[in-house]
Structure 1
């Protein structure tokens, strides 16, 4: 039990009550340089705000300036260079007042009202109706604030909130280094804002009230920081009756009144009620643990691909003696248990969910938006894209933040395990000698400056997100640990006390996670690699960062590159590329010679089209190569990286505007739960089964199709796929090499079940004996016919039919477009894309989108390697 004394306006733990609302409109702001009045004066109702400008809250100063047309879009072209950087202007330039008028009357009896701020960057002073709420300035981007404002509410019900927000200090010099000169890491906040090799600096360093502001109303008792733990003993199967799971639950009960309050803390789960009678003394907070509950035959939560993501609604509440609900919290519960073990063959750890081994196929995530413009819809779309890649884990990188609860909610929904770094990175925090940094390694190794604030922030963020079933791993930092006193406190005290159910990794490429026997720092390689590398070159057994490229297609490039800069990179014989300045500013990473086998790029569109072939091949081969050595070389891999929070051109499966590219669908193919694949070096065909159950009576077929469409069956055989395994079945190298030597050939691998239903199809394009795709360059125009019909609101089924005696319809991109402008509708989720259709066969693709009110029925655009663009009406 924990008792703490409360002050009237002092800091108290943050809560989300049932009776609450968000203050997210009607804010006004002004730079401190223009306002001479103090906070008590500004927060008085008679202070005029007529000259103040509209403010975006939640948001940053830069977001407000952009929305007020004071700065150009920093995501477009070279516009970011036109915006004043805080390092040059000084901090006052981006120090702003934010003011909000709202209606709320003081409650009757013992009712309480709280003001909650979920995130301010970096420090702030808060005033309400002429009174200062925080006795001392609040510091820390990752520390929530909550204030009991009951006695400060206006009798008239008209209230004014004024928040003075100060930027980080120091702001760091954006000198081109990782995190600029590194000094941004002296604070407890974001590190990427001073620039990185995948983003330009954010000029205000994300100063602002960047996360939600809410007003919460309760009775005498405020229920805060509820905690629900599920224990699932034994090895479980997805189907069938389950043995009981154990539910452990607790909460903190806060009594700000001058008298003791007696009542019942209870929760209801799937019709079952668990309760405990308690008394909370005046002006204290009491932590209460309820009795363990044996939950019979629970529906379990599983990672993506392995089983359903069952979620229960748990209602926890405090009921006073009089039978009145004082406060209530609703928690989404996924019944699951995550454990880890050591694989002595790979020399790395592996993850188990409900007792079953899961081969980790993950993606690295930075942040949803570099200017912190977060939304439930965007989180849902981005995590859904990761689900569509057939991944099962997202690692949240340490130079950013502990993600928002809405992100985890999406991960819960789509079955994405989360590997969560805390905000430390070796680049800024002294791991390496770096001439770009302002201070030496010994000094940087002690970052951040305020260790107490860091630990307080960690504890708060753990409490905020610990109930989400998707959260699987805590990590001390990116490629380095925090200073030793911080590490020991987090590892040995905070995590065990406040969570205690998850694997804690000291740093992202720790030997305790993946024993580094190959030298180097345990991450990479990055960039274009020969496909053979993924299959034949052994890397780190649980690789936290390995990746490649990610230029999107031409329509995506047009969104942020001015027309005059849409110039294709030119690969030179000396091994270097000539790249336009805007491409370079947006962090283009070289495709170099990889485009050449398809023919030298004629222009930017041709380059982007051919880049998609490279994208697809790279990411399919990456995941196939790792999967081919599951449990022998590897226990998992995490791609660097799968998304961009800015309009960068590297490491992304979809662009900032949520438009997918071929990286996503190459990964979608290579990461299939049940997948047949071809090793380009050994010529062996393998079958991967990621699932928990043996797959029997599978028909594996291998066929080739030449450039004219002639189909030749090489072989077919019945096979069995053991659980969580990869096994080679067919040696086809000599046959394939012989068929491909003149012009190249298509290789199609298919898996069929005993009912002759096709479970998987994987089509490779094999180059000629010189490594050139000479046959592709001569392909005849496809005879593909395309029809589209609406099968439900927001769902369109597209049928692609290729007749016999026709060439293969190769690498077709589907898009849903506005019928008037032919511009793509975003986001759209495709069951597959960049699809190829064999002669005398058809493919059905489902497009899922959110129709807007009054929107015309869209059209479907399709174009491919040997198919000119067509626009198809939807029936």
Structure 2
């Protein structure tokens, strides 16, 4: 069969130019008064597509690195100018019936010109602007394509009135607690030129299910007629008449007159090993819709990460007739059954917050994802890849794509399909503080509907997509989440019913009678909060006694590491200070000041590295307790979604697990341990005890998705590694419950430094499931209770590489040497504990993660750590952010050092 007509050319990449103007000047061109050319506020400069204006200005030397110190304040003029993108190219030869210019990422209000002819205007980020250029197209003709952007709309930032929202522009750009005001303008996704034949594939829906042991893949495709030929029935013994689509009215397919013809849709299914499994030939119905269900015997089922594998089947669609092929499309999907049920002991009026995949209840271990960068158009695929890898390696099984950010690029959803990360996708709406009521402005609702429909029709084809939500923290009254009674949310619910009826739609996050976590019992469904460590002992009382059904947003703040801080904070500002004493620090994380918190627990600190170590400790401690407390109530509580996995610009301090430069913080590794499928945990009411006081600490075991015999060995030790008390606990867990094994009972010891530690080791079915956990650290000293930790001395860290760096195997999409692994044996040859041992990569040429980090080594102990590195690629402003880098290897191999708590400050390694 020959290919006829259908073809696409990506116009991104090289050859684009950019120029800035005062508003309206590009439409006038010359002065009315004197006739002179109006030259603009910049000259033409090279541009990146996809990309954004800010980074192009930076590369041209017209903008200082906006991520450093207070520089972003001097970049706010950019959003108030008009910007013109230009590309000149030769129109390719084609055999299509029609030609379309498809702009998938215009941000935000644009006019598009083809050789001086206005094709049309477009407003919105998420719905593609498609222009028919057939009448203007001449093959091999020189084309000048212009995209003119008006100044960015003046939308609400984090503080404002949600009811006054009037755009579908990403709102975090306008200032949020984890970002600055840096309003993106530009072409943030692909622009393609598409040749279409007499027929082309339109909207597509591929969904899967499992019934009676068989896998079902449901395919629905709209056939569009671009010429004068009709769409008629097909003939032939191998061809079948199209099944009636689930909801033809909601499919968006074009209705058309029909005439006799032979157009068919050929559906090919390839198994996860790439073998052709079956083929069907489907004739469209009279409405131009082709639908069929492929039945797969003994299917290889898709599961979320931690519950099974993620085999993907490839579905290939070919539209053809006797003369040849007109159009084709290919995608990958997983076969799985997705259901939603109420939590155990759920109130009858609660929404179903328990997700069930292939009959197995999934305990959600999630994190909220913000855009990866303020300048989201410049995010390279490698950054998406590494971030989702970090999520999976961190034992996460869900990402909530937050409504104050963006509907992400396709690359992210593809990666979530491949790695088993469920997706909670919100439409672009968020709270604003002064009021949080969903907007009903007449210019807003049609925009929201168009963007929501576009997102639904495209993202529904991803097996990882699990939940839709109307937006973030929408409230009809203070602390009262909005419901479907709201006109805005009722409209979105109907769109979800029309375009993706098999998935759950939640009105907003949080949802239920109350918005925020509370100690009042019986009123919490899905809740948010808190976002700070709530103090000792309040933190443990609040989270230990809560009874919410789901926890879709909460966090604890902590500093970035010094390695990262040095990249965006000038030397004069690199010292521990409260936010009120530093404009620069305030600009990079004002809400997340931990200075008073950390000095109250550790005492005065003079070195930045010391402050970072202490702040990250309390962030990790606070998050670990929340996660364990929620999981102890599995499936009365069905999951936790941490705020947040990442940050879109560099903060001195924030609630993120991974900083802007992709450096995992201590909290990342303690969260990863808390989210292990097999987990032993400790409950406790506070961090400080009186020496001699009788202590009784409940010990729990969880084995997600399985029932197992568990043995937990608990040890109480001092800083010298002496075992002061030990107990063993046994029990048989169930797949869907966390088991209370008993209580660790002892008297608070009088130790030399006032600190003592509890370590748990878990064995499952007779085999060790994990080494000793990161210890639970307690004190018998008065405030500041953890001051003795800053004085621990006597540990001696030794690290030795085991072999050479070797390329990662098993992923054909990664080039040789782009991902390297190496093992190290790390030892404590001293006589005191080494707290929070972790690796760092010194050349700053690689992203890094470890099989284990921020663990403690007591005297005589050792641990083998596997370090994985990937070359940093596609980072913005990298040339201005590496004053700490050391090129230690002529071949640019990673150089790994191991550090531990307070070591850098004690040795004055960092300021």
**TM (normalized to structure 2)?**
0.81
Which residue number in structure 2 is paired with residue 395 of structure 1? Answer: 400
* Structure 1 residues 89-124: Cα deviation after superposition (integer angstroms, max 9, x where no partner): xx7x4211111122333423x454432211212222
Match of 2:732 in 1: 720
Structure 1: distance between partners of 2:94 and 2:580:
68
How far apart, CA to CA, are the structure 2 residues paired with 1:34 and 1:178? Answer: 26
* 1:110-164 Cα deviation digits (max 9, x unpaired): 4544322112122222122343323xx2222221122343443333343221111
Q: Partners of 1:165 and 1:37 in 2: how far apart?
A: 10
1:384 shift after superposition: 1.9
Question: For 1:793-832, what aligned pairs fall within 5 Å after superposition?
Answer: 793=807, 794-802=819-827, 806-818=831-843, 824-832=844-852
Residue-by-residue CA offset, 1:554-588 (whole Å, 9 max, x unaligned):
11111111111112025xxxxxx754221111124
- SS for the counterpart of 2:165 is helix
Decide whether aligned partners of structure 1 residues 246 and 405 sit closer, same or farther in structure 2, where only a CA change above 3 A counts: same
- With 738-747 and 666-675 compared, the bigger mean Cα shift is at 738-747
Instruction: Assess, with a 3 A threshold, how the Cα gap between structure 1 residues 129 and 267 changes in structure 2: closer, same or farther.
Output: same
* Structure 1: distance between partners of 2:556 and 2:68: 24
2:797 pairs with 769, 781, 784, which one? Answer: 784
Conserved? CA contact 2:404–2:429, under 8 Å? yes
* Partner residue, 1:74: 66
Alignment match of 1:846 (pick from 858, 866, 886): 866
In 1: Cα distance, 2:58 partner to 2:560 partner: 25
For the structure 1 residues 843 and 220, does the alpha-carbon distance in structure 2 shift closer, same or farther, using more than 3 Å as the test? Answer: farther
SS of corresponding position for 2:630: helix
Partner of 1:252: 222
Q: Which residue does 2:292 correspond to in 1?
A: 291
Measure, in 1, the Cα distance between the counterparts of 2:147 and 2:83.
8
Separation of aligned partners in 1, 2:764 and 2:305: 22
Say yes or no: does 1:646 pair with 2:660: no
**Are the equivalent residues in 1 in contact too, given 2:794–2:830 (CA < 8 A)?**
no
* 8 Å contact from structure 1 (residues 60, 206) kept in 2: yes
Q: Distance in 2 between the 1:655 and 1:804 partners? A: 32
Superposed CA offset, 1:645-697 (max 9, x none): 1123211111111111111011111111111111123743433325211122x
Structure 2: stretches of 5+ with no match in the other structure: 31-38, 232-261, 271-275, 475-481, 686-694, 808-818, 874-889
Matched, 1:24 2:13: yes
CA distance in 1, matches of 2:826, 2:63: 49
Q: Contact conserved, 2:17 with 2:87, CA < 8 A, in 1?
A: yes
Matched, 1:565 2:568: no
Residues 224 and 847 from structure 1, CA distance in 2 versus in 1: closer, same or farther, beyond 3 angstroms? farther
**Take 1:84 and 1:832, find their aligned partners in 2: how far apart are those partners?**
42
Aligned twin of 2:857: 837
> In structure 2, the residue corresponding to 1:191 is in which secondary structure?
coil
Which residue of structure 2 lines up, in the alignment, with residue 310 of structure 1?
Answer: 311
Matches within 5 A, 1:189-338: 189-202=169-182, 205-233=183-211, 243-260=213-230, 262-270=262-270, 271-278=276-283, 287-322=288-323, 324-338=324-338
Q: Does 1:451 align with 2:436?
A: no
Paired position in structure 2 for 1:574: none
Q: Aligned partners of 2:632, 2:542: CA distance in 1, in Å?
A: 10
Residues 770, 345 of structure 1: alpha-carbon distance in 2 compared, 3 angstrom cutoff: farther
Alpha carbons of structure 1 residues 857 and 142: separation in structure 2 relative to 1, 3 Å: closer
| Distance change in 2, residues 1:111/1:839 (3 Å) | farther
Aligned to 1:748: 759
For residues 321 and 375 of structure 1, the distance between their equivalents in structure 2, rounded to whole angstroms, comes to 42
Go from structure 1 to structure 2 and tell me whether the alpha carbon gap of 1:211 and 1:866 turns closer, same or farther (over 3 Å shift): closer
- Does the 8 Å contact 1:527/1:548 carry over to 2? yes
CA distance in 1, matches of 2:516, 2:373: 34
**In 2, Cα distance between equivalents of 1:590 and 1:803:** 34
Equivalences for 1:454-853 in 2 at 5 Å?
A: 454-480=448-474, 484-492=486-494, 494-511=495-512, 522-529=527-534, 530=536, 531-533=539-541, 535-538=543-546, 540-569=548-577, 578-588=580-590, 589-591=592-594, 592-632=596-636, 634-648=637-651, 649-681=653-685, 683-696=696-709, 698-711=710-723, 714-735=726-747, 737-738=748-749, 743-754=754-765, 756-770=767-781, 772-773=785-786, 775-788=788-801, 789-790=803-804, 792-793=806-807, 794-802=819-827, 806-818=831-843, 824-851=844-871
In structure 1, the residue matched to 2:104 is: 118
Q: Does the aligned pair in 2 maintain the 1:786–1:798 contact within 8 Å?
A: no
Which of 418, 423, 428 pairs up with 1:423? 428
Q: Are 1:360 and 1:635, in contact at CA under 8 Å, matched by a contact in 2?
A: yes
Q: 1:724-766 deviations in whole A, cap 9, x for unaligned?
A: 221121312424x236696212222111245644434313242
Give the deviation of 1:865 after TM superposition.
Answer: 2.8
Instruction: Give, in whole Å, the separation in 2 of the partners of 1:728 and 1:458.
Output: 45
Q: 1:64 aligns to what SS in structure 2?
A: helix
The CA distance in 2 between the partners of 1:739 and 1:689, in whole Å, is 32
The whole-number CA distance in structure 2 between the counterparts of 1:224 and 1:99 is 29
**Alpha-carbon distance between aligned partners in 1 of 2:790 and 2:571, rounded to the nearest angstrom:** 28
Q: Alpha-carbon deviation of 1:266? A: 2.0
* In 2, Cα distance between equivalents of 1:184 and 1:103: 45
RMSD: 3.3
Counterpart position of 2:133:
149
Q: Which moved more, 1:311-320 or 1:244-253?
A: 311-320
Between 208-217 and 452-461, the greater mean CA deviation after superposition: 208-217
Aligned partner of 1:58 in structure 2 is: 50
Indicate the residue corresponding to 2:92 in structure 1: 105
CA contact (8 A) 1:743 1:774 kept: no
Equivalent-residue separation in structure 1 for 2:696 and 2:100 (angstroms): 66
Aligned position for 1:375: 380
Q: 1:342 and 2:342 equivalent?
A: yes
Query: Which deviations, in whole Å up to 9, do the C-alpha atoms of 1:142-190 show, x marking residues without a partner?
Result: 2112234344333334322111122344x147xxx62557698211222
Q: 1:863 aligns with which of 856, 876, 899?
A: 899
Does structure 2 conserve the Cα–Cα contact (< 8 Å) formed by 1:795 and 1:846? no
Structure 2 counterpart SS, 1:194: coil
Whole-Å Cα distance in 1 between the matches of residues 169 and 160 of structure 2? Answer: 14
User: Of residues 124, 135, 144 in structure 2, which corresponds to 1:140?
Assistant: 124
Contact 2:445 2:488 in 1 (8 A): yes
Once the two structures are TM-superposed, the CA of residue 66 in structure 1 deviates from its matched residue by 2.1
- Structure 1 residues 235-287: Cα deviation after superposition (integer angstroms, max 9, x where no partner): xxxxxxxx211111011222211233642212211223343443699xxxx55
Q: Deviations over 1:324-383 (max 9, x none)?
A: 222111111011232211125244521111221112222112211112222211112122
Describe the SS at the equivalent of 1:762. Answer: coil
Cα distance in 2 between the residues matched to 1:805 and 1:605: 22
Return 5+ residue gaps in structure 1 as ranges: 1-15, 42-47, 235-242, 433-443, 571-576, 819-823
2:872 and 2:155 mapped to 1: Cα distance?
A: 43
Shift of 1:846: 1.5
Bigger drift between 802-811 and 451-460 goes to 802-811
